[in-house]
Amino acid sequence: MDDVFREGGNNIMNKICLYYGIICGVFLTSTAAPAADCTVGAILYNDGQCYEISPAGVEPAGVVFDTAKRLAVGLNSKVLPWGGQGIDVAAAVNCSSNKTESCPDGSPAATAAIVAAIGGGDYAAAYCLKQPGGKYFLPGVAQLQLLAARKKEVDAALAKLRAATGDGRIYWSADENRSTDALAVAMDDGGVYGSYKETLLSMRCVISY
């Protein structure tokens, strides 16, 4: 049987492989393999890879919007309060909608700090912290503004997955204004607004990959 696989072997199996080599190559190129890079609008799967054709056993986890910092927006959109009305979250740097350069980026650690300060309940940061894998977080203002700028590519992928798009939505950020207010970003134009923390607004977690 070793002769079957020996290069140049004069046997039936070798001739069949040579004859059908082109066809085999077509099948090989159509098998699932990670894309070389996760581009903006690519679907990120729960194994941390982007695929044109996903293999069995993996599920979509988000849509890539920041390739430099390797971030993807989650698929689920919820309507929730920011939480902690009247609580000044020490770990959340207070920043203004008129001066957003002082607003820090969101991160898993920052999201966990918000939850630690507010405690239990059903609100934006707590929802992100409960997501599987421990990599989801509530995004900051600048991260949401980048998402808004890349809304066309991201929404096309979300629509393909039959997930809610960002059309007409204002998303909570992880950035606090003061003890009663937090900042939110409009997906249609990237505008930043302050709102009472108890207000019900849309929110979407972000995942790092």
- Residue 33 pLDDT: 64
* Statement: residue 17 has pLDDT above 50: no
- Residue 54 pLDDT: 87
- Overall average pLDDT of the 54-68 stretch: 95
**Token output for 176:** 């606090």
Cβ-based burial of 103 (10 A; exposed 0-12, middle 13-18, buried ≥19): buried
* Statement: residue 24 has pLDDT above 50: no
- Residue 171 pLDDT: 98
* Statement: residue 194 has pLDDT above 80: yes
- Virtual CA dihedral for 115, 117, 121, 125, nearest 10 degrees? -30
Encode pLDDT of 89-125 as tens digits: 987 778 877 778 879 999 999 999 999 999 999 999 9
CB atoms within 10 A of CB 41: 18
- Residue 136 pLDDT: 96
* Statement: residue 158 has pLDDT above 70: yes
What are the extents of the domains in the chain?
Answer: 1-31, 43-208
* Statement: residue 28 has pLDDT above 80: no
How far is 37 from 197, CA to CA, in rounded Å?
38
Encode pLDDT of 126-147 as tens digits: 999 999 888 999 999 999 999 9
**Looking at per-residue confidence, does 43 or 5 come out higher?**
43
- Residue 98 pLDDT: 74
Percent pLDDT > 90 in the chain is: 69
